Amino acid sequence: MDGPRAATSKILCLFGTRPEAIKLAPVIRELQDRSMGVVTVNTGQHRDLLDPLLTLLDIPDNYSLKVMRPEQSLSQLTGNILSHLDPIFSKESPDFVLVQGDTSSALIGALAAFHHKTAIGHIEAGLRSGNRKSPFPEEMNRRLITQLADYHFAATLSNRKTLISEGVAEQNIFVTGNPVVDSLLHIQRQKPMSVRLKQLLDDSAHGKRLVLTTHRRENFGNTMLSHLHILKDFVIRHQDITLIFPVHPNPAVRRAANAIFSGQNRIFLIEPLAYPDFIGLLSHSWLIVSDSGGIQEEAPSLGKPLLILRENTERPESVESGIARLVGHHPEQLGRLLEEAYHPFPHSTQTPLTKNPFGQGNAAKLIVDQMEKLFDRQHAASRQSFGVHNI
């Protein structure tokens, strides 16, 4: 008779940014609920944003690498993460490594696992923008992770088709939805409104709330400054609009925000919010303007219209659902779409009642279901190779 699967399976889950932790949290909980061995490695890119979230989501922090240095290059970050991971892999000898998305930590985690001949599962596999340099470096990261990964957990059927077109074996692709929906629904059920969020909503209660986030490297410099100028002018023209901008800690973003928005009435520059508060803010918004990939998944889950500050998207489902519209990098296009959203045009002010393209909140269960089947298959193959047969 076979022993418990937990005794033979050790899964290393690697993350370093807040979005990774948000999406991995329900998977880690599901693994723990099924008594599987879990080891977590936190590379620590978003240390200040991440620590409170780990506590909230009850994620263990077995290894904390603290790799961030002021103004370090991507190459320096990459080398730093890889050098820290090697002894962890040697010590823990995991059976399976889970990485999520397209960050540098995900890519280096997959590379380290490959070096140690460890099976790799990629959550949120198959996203493609069509331009390998945009978003940078995420688009190339996700393409390289596909080449390294053994198993691919795709959020949508479109992602699955992309992977198949690139030569990934169909039997190694599993369509599961995106666990960000699991986390969002979990937090909405569990977390009451904080005092900080209540005060922010009270201070901005007189009109329509426009929530802005921007942090992508390809938008740094003149592109970001142009976007912020357009948004400032829009707020000035419309007295019933309040803009709320949780400013990313990246110095380039903070410099741009302070240069354009400081001293403006009805523009709130605030520190990043805890994830439950951020979801609460989005749920009370009139319109979201963002270059975030995660928000393209959260907006359909919340039924909130979104303008995407990018030229392309690896999540076309958000646009196809009618929730989101692509802005591109032309300031006049942002201005035009803001005005269309403000005026009663049906295609921009009414949220379509469509099924969430990113899942129904059961992605973690589907991912772990597939992992259990993989472990069962590997365990059976191992027993057979040693001449052991079940009775």
The residue from 5, 34, 196, 215 that is catalytic is 215
Is 186 annotated in the active site?
no
Could you give the CA distance from residue 215 to residue 148 in angstroms, rounded to a whole number?
27
The whole-angstrom distance between residue 289's C-alpha and the CA centroid of its chain comes to 16
Among 152, 227, 248, 266, the active-site one is 248
Cβ(213)–Cβ(292) under 8 Å?
Answer: yes
State yes or no: is 138 an active-site residue. yes
Is 115 a catalytic site residue?
no
Choose, from 20, 30, 138, 297, the residue flagged as catalytic: 138
Token pair 């959203």 is found at 341
Strand blocks (E) in the chain: 10-15, 37-42, 63-64, 96-100, 119-125, 151-154, 173-175, 208-213, 241-246, 267-270, 287-290, 306-308, 324-326
Active-site residue (options: 20, 30, 102, 182): 102
Task: Give the bridge partners for 99, in sequence order.
Answer: 122
Active-site residue 116, yes or no?
A: no
The dihedral region occupied by 220, where left means phi > 0, alpha psi between -120 and 50, and beta the remainder, is beta
Question: Which candidate in 20, 92, 124, 291 is catalytic?
Answer: 124
What's the rounded Cα separation, in Å, for the pair 283 and 237?
A: 24
In the block, residue with structure tokens 């979230």: 53
CA distance 293 to 116: 30
Closest of 143, 148, 140, 70 to residue 116, by C-alpha? 148
Angle subtended at Cα 208 by Cα 206 and Cα 212, rounded to the nearest 5 degrees:
120
| Cβ neighbours of residue 73 closer than 8 Å, sequence gap 6 or more | none
- Closest Cα to residue 291, out of 129, 100, 54? 129
Name the catalytic one among 217, 229, 325, 329: 217
Tell me, yes or no, if 215 is annotated catalytic.
yes
Strand partners of residue 311: none
Residues with Cβ within 8 Å of residue 286, at least 6 apart in sequence: 208, 209, 210
Say how far apart CA 211 and CA 267 lie, in whole Å.
10
Active-site residue numbers? 102, 124, 138, 215, 217, 248
